[in-house]
A and B are shown apart, each in its own frame.
Chain A
């Protein structure tokens, strides 16, 4: 279905975003990250490692930018121009933290460049990576403006999970081998389980029934995960989720490269929105006293 979408209508693939996406979405998973709440503790990163079988590459490889952390905490100092002597001082002011994982862009730049369609959009609105289809051309990661795709330059299995550590691997997803691109999936295995449960009980997936590993772990509940379908099709079927109401509250609309906010005080923004990638993660700006 999705693949057919790409093959039959490749040229209009990108046009979709302005017209509200190129799919009849079943869900539109998205996230809200409140940077006011984020303390930069890194618990979400650890949770992601545990949930998604991320390889631990070691200090040497990590310093060569070969880390496989699907979720990274970017750190920004608040006042960059204080000069060398006042390093201590501005550190005292503190840093801002920006947890970055795949933005699951509605018109993702990584998707049209894949020569084998190993990355594509699912009817759930997820930017999917099919590991066994990937040939490792790495075009997608070169085309990702956020640099949120990670390539397996090595086979990490033995190094990363020596026995008995392999017992901790999550059986709901694979261990990726050498030559495969990987990225955040919004914990698709959890989405799958929730949908299976809902189907068994003959009902729709409820808001808050499950969440991603990072959002579940965050001690300050900085992350809110949920279905944004109501934003996409006003009055469409599902009740409004917590995430969707936050999007609405901060007047950020999907499918736009520039937002018209009535109230400039609202904190919501999307990273690199101007590139018209239509990311699905909303950040709420950090506010602090100067």
Chain B
């Protein structure tokens, strides 16, 4: 079983935002095993994934570069996604069932980081927030105007769950609108996310064209 698989199997137990410290400690043996496995995983050769294209999808091509949004903690997406192969929806778990993808609760971070990389300054900063029982004040990067209705669930359904596309490769679909987050540290906006951008994609992928589908 890969690291990703293990993390996924532990997923349902740590979705609650109010997991308390002692619960984390009770699970310490599990976490230590996990840590050891993780350490092994670093040395194992990564299986080369055959990158077949996504079925029934025309990915958008527009790009955007704008000011970088500063975050309270320099969260390294690349370490989590590229090096450790963690699925986007392991942390952004609401993407498949709600409008917003969501920021994971600190308890989910601490699920691993009570034991992993605790000597790193970024993790120490996270632990400070955890002990103060405050969420880190993340800043929004992909912010849509107030009059736009965007639903993550429907897009995940269209391109992944209802499209016979393996969920393990969901990051390729996320990249449609969020760019190559797997290579970024702090997420940056790399697609314009304008109405034209949405419409070109809706046209190519036969999405709805009614004004009230997206405007509110």
Contacts and interface: CB of A to CB of B under 8 A. Distances in A.
A200 B153 contact: yes
B149 A192 contact: yes
A189 B211 contact: no
B147 interface: yes
B11 interface: no
Interface in A147-199: 172-175, 188-189, 192, 196, 199
Contact of A133 (B149, B157, B208, B211): B211
B154 A196 contact: yes
Dominant SS at the B interface? loop
A3 interface: yes
Given A172-B216, A173-B216, A192-B149, A123 B210 contact: yes
Contact of A130 (B145, B146, B212): B212
A132 interface: yes
B19 interface: no
A188 B211 CA distance: 12
A175 B146 contact: yes
Contacts of A173: 216
A1 interface: yes
Interface in A113-139: 120, 122-124, 126, 128, 130-133
A142 interface: no
Interface string B151-173: 10110010000000000000000
A3 B212 contact: no
A130 B145 CA distance: 14
A196 B216 CA distance: 15
B199 to A, nearest CB: 11
B212 A196 contact: no
A196 B146 contact: no
Given A131-B147, A189-B216, A120 B154 contact: no
A130 B216 CA distance: 7
A221 interface: no
Given A3-B209, A122-B210, A196 B153 contact: yes
Residue from A122, A128, A132, A188 having most chain B Cβ neighbours under 10 A:
A132
Contacts of B210: 1-2, 122-123
Contacts of A131: 147, 215
Interface string B197-216: 00000000000111110011
Given A174-B146, A175-B146, A122 B212 contact: yes
Contacts of B157: 199-200
B153 A130 contact: no
B216 A188 contact: yes
B10 to A, nearest CB: 25
Nearest to B145: A132
Given A1-B208, A122-B210, A196 B151 contact: yes
B146 A1 contact: no
A175 B153 CA distance: 24
Nearest to A175: B146
B194 to A, nearest CB: 12
Given A132-B147, A196-B154, A126 B212 contact: yes
Nearest to A120: B211
A172 B151 CA distance: 11
Contacts of A2: 209-211
Contacts of A122: 210-212
Interface in B138-154: 145-147, 149, 151, 153-154
A189 B213 CA distance: 10
A132 to B, nearest CB: 5
Interface string A62-93: 00000000000000000000000000000000
A131 B153 CA distance: 25
B211 A128 contact: yes
B14 to A, nearest CB: 24
B130 to A, nearest CB: 27
B209 A1 contact: yes
A130 B208 contact: no
A173 B146 CA distance: 8
Q: Which 9 A-B pairs have the closest CB atoms?
A: A1-B209, A174-B147, A130-B211, A132-B147, A128-B212, A173-B216, A174-B146, A122-B212, A130-B215
Given A188-B216, A192-B216, 13 more contacts: A1-B210, A2-B209, A2-B210, A3-B211, A124-B212, A130-B211, A130-B212, A130-B215, A131-B215, A133-B211, A133-B215, A173-B216, A188-B212
